[in-house]
Amino acid sequence: KQRGTMAQHKIQSFVGSERIRSWLEHAGSQFTYTRTLTAIEDLGDGDLIVHNRLEGDFPGGEADLRYRFRLARQLIERLEIAP
């Protein structure tokens, strides 16, 4: 398996429910992959970091990604995705 191709991408940020919903509807739709939850960090004040390992038919085949969430009123207000 190859690694690194997805990790070379910059941090992506999505603010607001419409932007986040749009990203969720289209993210990774051109690839088949599995996602494995590897860790969750509660940073307090509604901030969480969720660590996932992706494996699939995308370039590089594997990627470790961090999803940083900001919650407000039990909804995702902001989402950042980083290698």
The answer to whether the CB of 78 falls within 8 A of the CB of 61 is no
**For residues 15-39, average pLDDT:** 86
Per-residue pLDDT band for 28 (boundaries 50, 70, 90) equals: confident
What does the pLDDT look like over 31-76, one tens digit per residue?
Answer: 899 999 999 999 999 999 999 999 999 889 999 999 999 998 888 8
Task: Check residue 4 and give its pLDDT.
Answer: 44
5 pLDDT more than 50: no
6 pLDDT more than 80: no
What is the Cα–Cα distance from 66 to 51, expressed in whole angstroms? 5
Cite the beta strand spans of the chain per DSSP E: 12-15, 33-44, 47-56, 62-72, 75-82
Instruction: Count other Cβ atoms within 10 Å, centred on residue 79.
Output: 19
Task: Check residue 74 and give its pLDDT.
Answer: 85
The answer to whether the CB of 83 falls within 8 A of the CB of 63 is yes
Task: Check residue 9 and give its pLDDT.
Answer: 61
Hey, which residues does 81 pair with through a beta bridge? 12, 67
pTM summary value: 0.76
The answer to whether the CB of 63 falls within 8 A of the CB of 51 is no
